[in-house]
A and B are shown apart, each in its own frame.
Chain A
């Protein structure tokens, strides 16, 4: 325990030092230090000058002799201001101390005493927290009497509930940690556990909050004294000086403004320093990528590289979508991360194409880039991107928007999160038709009901009036598909549409997609990590690895005629009815390539059993092997399709990668 305690202390010191190195931390620490120094020294040094009555210099304005002026007894306000620092800070700290102690006790009680008493205390704290501090302070000021002591107790008790709440939360979090559970099992008593194991670990956030709390107490005290409910004459703090100065704000405003300024500066010093340290505690980086908000990034055109031809010209004539040299990249801490590195393919009318690959292979980013939904700060480039013959690389126009809105449908992975929780399903479906098809609300809702029926949602009219949370996962995904076919889609891009659903619902959703494809001649781009699923629905499969298409083959060839070792490894990892359940499930050995640092040569080489020097030197291009079958590999050879026989040797590098 002592080691963990010292470790905690060392970490705390390190964090507080780190806070000092931030600009805000440094400035606020300097401010705080001066305030505290002044609080100690000023009363010793200048009490005499501050209390010297001079009847010949009553209520003077600022002058060289009296920088802030004098009060009604001719006392120098500048010195009074400095000396008042002592009492103001002392009272604030005392009140905070009381608040922390009472709060700690109230917060710890639920974990120490019987459950029923604990609940009662918690309920009481919850009610008390809801009341504004000043109101509580005035309540207590009545009970404890008007004056310095009363005010300290009042503000102390008024801040206690929020400290109690914090303590409760902190203790609750700590209690769930493993070493506390271990201590419990070891028979360490409740009180012992609290004092020796929990308190040291929650001390730091409490101290930080107390620092911020001291700032608030300082302000609260100024408030009470200003109201005449705090410090009583002849004692004086900043609030008292403000109170006395405000009466004459017409004659010499400095007498009111200066103490006000002092209160704000001292309060800020405590607050900002506390906040600066608090930031180092949790230290969540503000833009760690996840929180990044979306922005529409328009793909920009780049020069086409001649040797990469998307597909045969015969297919192009009826192409719904054609893309060449698609790149997606994001700025990363160590240079750009490029999840998609030169994808080229095209989709024919009514064709269903699957995109498979491990997570991180760039499937989703490819889909988002095609839909022009890549989020800022990502950037998209391509030498060609056409949808229904319309160039998507030039700047957006209303016509383009309308075409995409009615003909390009997206179905996202998580139906739970992809509907707006505060809008009715009907509204969300109808707005597509209202926006792009010139329907009024009633027509659009009728169309929405019709579309819901088309995706086999029962009681469509009633469902339209419901909110997303009233739908089950499968129903939501149906509704999402229904939203996609509000217009007349030529293409549905479905990004892992069934991953979040259970198996029986998966099948229904897939069948639905197939039906829509058959009935309306819609092209489908189905993104999935599940080869079996893609094989069921699609006619053609694109296998992606490290941001590239490594193989493009007819789905019928998948089982026995695949050429790329990666495709074969993926197939080998698919369990079926004959898989020996006593053996661990097969996996593709090694780790997927790191998109921020893709190796030279073939990205798969380090995991590939057939890799040689050529592979690690030169990057294979996606070339036509036979009609409708493209592969990017220096050693393409037909897999046997027998799962067991595809045995990958683990290269030493991959093994090390696994171990680290």
Chain B
């Protein structure tokens, strides 16, 4: 902890030299605070469970000796502050505890499952961006200044309906049509490239719908900005005005929402993984909750939370690079 505070302090002194360093330092400082809240929350999880978590996990018929042994192994007999200290110590060393059902280290369980989830969320986000940026930008250009009202209405209502369908229901629908009826893709599992299509698409579509609406709205407001008029006064060709002058400005705001979506997607994997029996963290956390394997749940929640925090940090930094004003604004 002291290393972290020292680091933050150093970074803050640097801030006086360059706004960029100060900006990054503040963001990392925020990450550290959030991380601490997250770690503490995941530590308290077991302690907040009413009654004895070990008895809850092992069942009422479990012999007293076994329960006592488990309590000892989990360190639940130590005073709370000591447990907290041990927990933090373990985390620094990469030790997330031991699964109560499989006796494997939690870190190993997560390490085995993380890549599958990472792939799913990453590919889905990529697909959502690849769909929404061109579609949204095109829609913005086509419907700017209130023209093509019908196109706008069709686009808006379609995107609202698509966005309203939760990923896992979309997944069920897609499985029915493309796997059961048409047989193009496997119903479940993670094997060849074809098995990625349905999970990735079902996660990406809703986000793509929301994101493309945001891109369109941002594009509209940017196209109405004074600096776009300046670009037109320079008689630049339209493609230059749209791609060089308008799009980067439209994307800065999109990126903020996109980041929120990526973190929502991290959670969305949980449901979609269960539809497709995808061997990722999502199916692990559900089975662990049902099996009351608390150390695993604790570890997975921590990993998910860290993922969300990192995504937010990356978005903030990317935003700072795209729009140089955002680094200055806060100081």
Q: Residues on A close to B: CB < 8 A?
A: 123-124, 127, 130-135, 138-139, 141-143, 145-146, 219, 222-223, 226-229, 242, 246, 249-250, 253, 256-257, 260, 263-264, 267-268, 271-272, 286-287, 290-296, 371, 373, 375-377, 401-402, 404-405, 409-410, 412, 414, 417-423, 431-432, 435-436, 467, 469, 480, 483
Contacts and interface: CB of A to CB of B under 8 A. Distances in A.
Interface in B133-192: 144-147, 160-161, 164-166, 168-169, 172-173, 175-176, 180, 187
A294 B232 contact: yes
Given A141-B289, A142-B45, A417 B227 contact: yes
A222 B170 CA distance: 13
Nearest to B327: A469
A410 B232 CA distance: 10
A431 B234 contact: yes
A423 B245 contact: yes
18 contacts: A130-B309, A132-B264, A132-B266, A133-B267, A138-B301, A142-B294, A145-B49, A228-B290, A257-B173, A263-B166, A264-B165, A268-B161, A287-B145, A291-B221, A294-B228, A375-B229, A418-B230, A436-B235
A526 B191 CA distance: 70
A127 B187 contact: no
B195 interface: no
A268 B37 contact: no
Given A132-B263, A294-B223, A431-B240, A229 B290 contact: yes
A377 B146 contact: yes
B271 interface: yes
A295 B145 contact: yes
Which 8 A-B pairs rank lowest in CB-CB distance, beginning with the nearest? A293-B144, A132-B267, A405-B235, A293-B223, A417-B226, A410-B233, A376-B145, A134-B267
B270 A294 contact: no
B233 A249 contact: no
A229 B286 contact: yes
Contact of A421 (B33, B227, B244, B268): B227
A463 B155 CA distance: 43
A69 to B, nearest CB: 14
A386 B325 CA distance: 41
Given A418-B226, A418-B227, A435-B236, 9 more contacts: A127-B37, A132-B267, A138-B285, A246-B172, A249-B176, A405-B234, A412-B230, A422-B324, A469-B325
A421 B249 contact: yes
Given A293-B144, A431-B240, A467-B324, A249 B175 contact: yes
B80 interface: no
Contacts of B297: 138, 142
B224 interface: yes
Contacts of A431: 234, 236, 240, 244
B147 A124 contact: no
Interface string B29-42: 00001100100010
A222 B166 CA distance: 10
Of A271, A290, A293, A412, most B-chain CB atoms within 10 Å? A293
Contacts of A132: 263-264, 266-268, 308
A420 B275 contact: no
Contact of B180 (A124, A253, A293): A253
A421 to B, nearest CB: 6
B220 interface: yes
Q: Per DSSP, are chain A's interface residues mostly helix, strand or loop, or mixed?
A: helix
A257 B285 CA distance: 25
A294 B241 CA distance: 11
A135 B305 contact: yes
Contact of A130 (B228, B245, B263): B263
B145 A377 contact: yes
A135 B117 CA distance: 15
Contact of B187 (A229, A250, A267, A435): A250
B116 to A, nearest CB: 17
Interface in B240-268: 240, 244-245, 248-249, 252, 263-264, 266-268
B289 A422 contact: no
B76 interface: no
Contacts of B48: 143
Contact of A134 (B49, B234, B270, B312): B270
A127 B220 CA distance: 31
A659 B146 CA distance: 36
Given A249-B172, A250-B187, A287-B146, A294 B229 contact: yes
Interface string B306-331: 00110010000000001111001000
B20 interface: no
Given A146-B289, A412-B229, A435 B175 contact: no
Nearest to B308: A131
B232 A256 contact: no
Contacts of A227: 270-271, 274, 286
Q: Which of A131, A401, A412, A421 has the most CB of B within 10 A?
A: A131
A378 to B, nearest CB: 9
B169 A260 contact: yes
B301 to A, nearest CB: 6
Most A-side CB within 10 Å, residue of B173, B221, B268: B173
A139 B268 contact: no
A238 B45 CA distance: 29
Contacts of B270: 134-135, 138, 227
Contacts of B144: 293-295, 376
B220 A291 contact: yes
Contacts of B305: 131, 135
B130 interface: no
B228 A253 contact: no
Contact of A483 (B41, B160, B234, B275): B234
